[in-house]
């Protein structure tokens, strides 16, 4: 166990800063995409391919990172991820051909995958489950603050310099944070020491001693993976395409469209604190049930959003932004339950990083589908049809949450 509360707080702080930098360097393309489209730097289909490349390789990388995160020193994996991401952010704006951006951003996706499973491992190894959940809230909020900073910084950079400067700023930031993170973690982290989370004795025959696939089936987490795919589609789809939706549906310029999108992470941060509070209660303490409720709320909210999206009134524009913000906030709350809380339930078996890797991989299967799917649906059928498709995806999420509930509840009862 780490020797002091200050060491534990230091670990949470450094993981938060590292994840802040990770999100900053991951979302640069999504944030400036509307400007790149407007300037003719990339075509809509190619922009979709670039986004898909990031998410596909991020998802595949999660499986590898999840396994390595339980076997290798987590701090070195995270440092490597930040350094490679910095190189990719430096390289993308230097590409002379838009198609060269696809493999560059694919490598960035794999680099980004080296962050989250090791974070899960570090936190779950050194904190009790309750403290682990609280630490996850702090780390996740760091990612949203990073998004807010990026949404504010990008229009300034675009106005006074160019869209390329956003990538260059991200490069410098990642390098600095990566060096500070590695030095700090080498001083305070003792990965070989026993942890609070693994003090419980394993009972022979329980899920923790079973093969991985048996663990998946008996815990109900396989069906939760399908919920996560739906959540990933919604969360990253809305975040990536809202600036373009706002610009095209309401005829606004790209800088304004990027700036108004700062509302999304603000809503998400508020929702995370709300869901953390209610997660302590009976209803949301079961992550499958909580996710089902959040998907249902989102499906309902998509209906007025689809109705108002083409109404050219300022009030309707504001209402649409509020609705999109609330839906995105619900998906981030769902992400907190399924990506942050669920892997921690497997800490006693030493599989927190592995489960975290699978969960995040599923997130970005959905995210990859959203990048290309929303590009195609919006191009051929318009934004109203796109929002209706969001409601359908949310209903799918409700269905899989219901199907996973019985097994997952039994798994939780077995390990309380």
How much is the pLDDT for 229?
93
Please tell me the predicted confidence (pLDDT) of residue 416.
62
For residue 178, name the pLDDT band (cuts at 50, 70, 90): very high
Distance CA 411, CA 415 (A): 7
What is the arithmetic mean of pLDDT over 286-313? 88
CA distance linking residue 300 with residue 127, whole number of Å: 37
With vertex at residue 133, the alpha carbon angle to CA 278 and CA 125, rounded to the nearest 5 degrees, is 160
pTM of the model: 0.71
SS (HEC) of the chain? CCCCHHHHHHHHHHHHHHHHHHHHHHCHHHHHHHHHHHCCCCCHHHHHHHHHHHHHHHHHHHHHHHHHHCCCCHHHHHHHHHHHHHHHHHHHHHCCCHHHHHHHHHHHHHHHCCCHHHHHHHHHHHCCHHHHHHHHHHHHHHHHHHHHHHHHHHHHHHHHCCCHHHHHHHHHHHHHHHHHHHHHHHHHCCCCCCCCCCCCCCCCCCHHHCCHHHHHHHHCHHHHHHHHHHHHHHHHHHHHHHHHHHHHHHCCCHHHHHHHCCHHHHHHHHHHHHHHHHHCCCCCCCHHHHHHHHHHHHHHHHHHHHHHCCCCCHHHHHHHHHHHHHHHHHHHHHHHHHHHHHHHCCHHHCCHHHHHHHHHHHHHHHHHHHHHHHHHHHHHHCHHHHHHHHHHHHHHHHHHHHHHHHHHHHHHHHCC
pLDDT above 70: percentage of residues in the chain? 86
pLDDT band at residue 203 using 50, 70 and 90 as cut-offs: very low
**Residue 296 has what pLDDT?**
95
Region 161-168 average pLDDT = 89
Let me know: does 47 contact 37? Beta carbons within 8 Å.
yes
Do residues 333 and 236 lie in contact, with contact meaning Cβ atoms separated by under 8 Å?
no
Q: Are 16 and 181 in contact (CB under 8 A)?
A: no
Surface-to-core class of residue 142, CB atoms within 10 Å of its CB (0-12 exposed, 13-18 middle, 19+ buried): buried
More reliable by pLDDT, 260 or 384:
384
- Please give the Cα distance from 82 to 184 (Å, whole number): 15
Task: Provide the pLDDT for residue 102.
Answer: 93
Residue 343 above 50 pLDDT? Answer: yes
Mean pLDDT calculated for residue range 34-46: 82
Q: Alpha-carbon distance 98 to 350, whole Å?
A: 43
Q: What is the pLDDT of residue 298?
A: 93
Mean pLDDT of 202-219: 57
Tens digit of each residue's pLDDT (9 = 90 or more) over 93-149: 888 888 999 999 999 999 998 988 888 888 877 777 678 778 888 888 888 888 888
pLDDT score at 278:
76
User: Of the ranges 78-82, 155-159, 225-229, 303-307, which one carries the lowest mean pLDDT score?
Assistant: 155-159
More confident residue, 392 or 141: 392
For residues 268-289, give the mean pLDDT.
77
Question: Tokens representing 320?
Answer: 């649409």
Q: Is 290 exposed, middle or buried (0-12, 13-18, 19+ CB in 10 A)?
A: buried
How much is the pLDDT for 196? 43
Residue 195 pLDDT: 43
CA nearest to 215, candidates 415, 7, 19: 415
Position 364 scores a pLDDT of 77
Of 72-86, 167-181, 304-318, the range with the lowest mean pLDDT is 304-318
Question: Does residue 201 register a pLDDT over 50?
Answer: no
How far is residue 198's CA from residue 189's CA, in Å, rounded to a whole number? 17
Q: What is the rounded distance in angstroms from the CA atom of residue 285 to the CA atom of residue 293?
A: 12
Contact 83, 29 (CB under 8 A): no
The answer, yes or no, to whether residue 218 has pLDDT greater than 90, is no
Distance CA 309, CA 317 (A): 7
| Distance from C-alpha of 360 to C-alpha of 367, rounded to nearest angstrom | 10
* Largest CA-CA distance found in the chain, in angstroms, rounded: 64
CA distance 20 to 105: 19
Task: Provide the pLDDT for residue 207.
Answer: 45
- Say how far apart CA 175 and CA 323 lie, in whole Å: 37
Is the pLDDT at 329 greater than 60? The verdict is yes
Average pLDDT, the chain: 81
pLDDT at residue 376 greater than cutoff 80 = yes
pLDDT of residue 147: 82
Higher pLDDT, 294 or 264: 294
Q: Would the pLDDT of 357 be above 60?
A: yes
What is the pLDDT at residue 194? 40
Q: What is the pLDDT of residue 205?
A: 39
Across the range 66-92, mean pLDDT stands at 87
| Per-residue confidence band for 187, with pLDDT thresholds at 50, 70 and 90 | confident
Any idea of the CA torsion for 354, 8, 170, 233, to the nearest 10 degrees?
40
Q: Whole-angstrom distance between the N-terminal and C-terminal Cα of the chain?
A: 21
Q: What pLDDT sits at residue 104? A: 93
CB atoms within 10 A of CB 377: 17
pLDDT at 39 over 90: no
């Amino acid at each position: 166990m780490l020797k002091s509360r200050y060491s534990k707080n230091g670990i949470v702080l450094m993981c938060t800063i590292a994840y802040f930098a990770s999100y900053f360097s991951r979302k640069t393309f999504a944030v400036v995409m509307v400007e790149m489209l407007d300037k003719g730097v990339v075509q809509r289909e190619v922009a979709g391919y670039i986004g898909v490349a990031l998410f596909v390789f991020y998802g595949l990388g999660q499986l590898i990172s999840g396994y390595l995160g339980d076997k290798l020193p987590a701090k070195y994996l995270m440092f490597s991820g930040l350094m490679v991401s910095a190189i990719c952010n430096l390289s993308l704006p230097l590409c002379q051909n838009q198609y060269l951006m696809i493999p560059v951003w694919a490598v960035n996706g794999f680099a980004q995958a080296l962050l989250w499973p090791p974070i899960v491992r570090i936190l779950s190894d050194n904190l009790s489950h309750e403290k682990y959940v609280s630490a996850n809230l702090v780390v996740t909020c760091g990612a949203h603050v990073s998004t807010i900073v990026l949404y504010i910084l990008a229009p300034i950079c675009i106005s006074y310099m160019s869209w390329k400067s956003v990538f260059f700023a991200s490069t410098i930031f990642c390098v600095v944070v990566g060096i500070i993170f590695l030095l700090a973690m080498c001083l305070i982290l003792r990965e070989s020491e026993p942890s609070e989370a693994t003090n419980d004795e394993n009972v022979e025959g329980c899920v923790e001693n079973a093969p991985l696939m048996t663990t998946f089936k008996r815990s109900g987490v396989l069906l939760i993976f399908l919920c996560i795919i739906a959540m990933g589609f919604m969360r990253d789809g809305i975040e990536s395409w809202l600036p373009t939706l706002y610009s095209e549906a309401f005829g606004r310029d790209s800088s304004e469209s990027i700036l108004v999108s700062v509302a999304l992470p603000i809503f998400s941060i508020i929702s995370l604190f709300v869901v953390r509070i209610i997660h302590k209660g009976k209803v949301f303490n079961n992550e499958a049930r909580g996710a089902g409720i959040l998907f249902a709320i989102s499906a309902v909210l998509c209906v007025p959003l689809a109705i108002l999206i083409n109404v050219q009134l300022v009030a309707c524009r504001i209402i649409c932004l509020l609705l999109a913000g609330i839906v995105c906030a619900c998906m981030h709350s769902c992400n907190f339950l399924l990506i942050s809380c669920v892997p921690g339930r497997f800490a006693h078996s030493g599989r927190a990083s592995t489960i975290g890797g699978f969960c995040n991989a599923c997130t970005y299967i959905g995210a990859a589908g959203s990048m290309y799917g929303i590009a195609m649906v919006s191009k051929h059928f318009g934004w109203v049809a796109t929002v209706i498709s969001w409601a359908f995806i949310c209903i799918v999420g409700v269905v899989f949450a219901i199907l996973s509930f019985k097994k997952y509840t039994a798994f939780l009862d077995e390990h309380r």
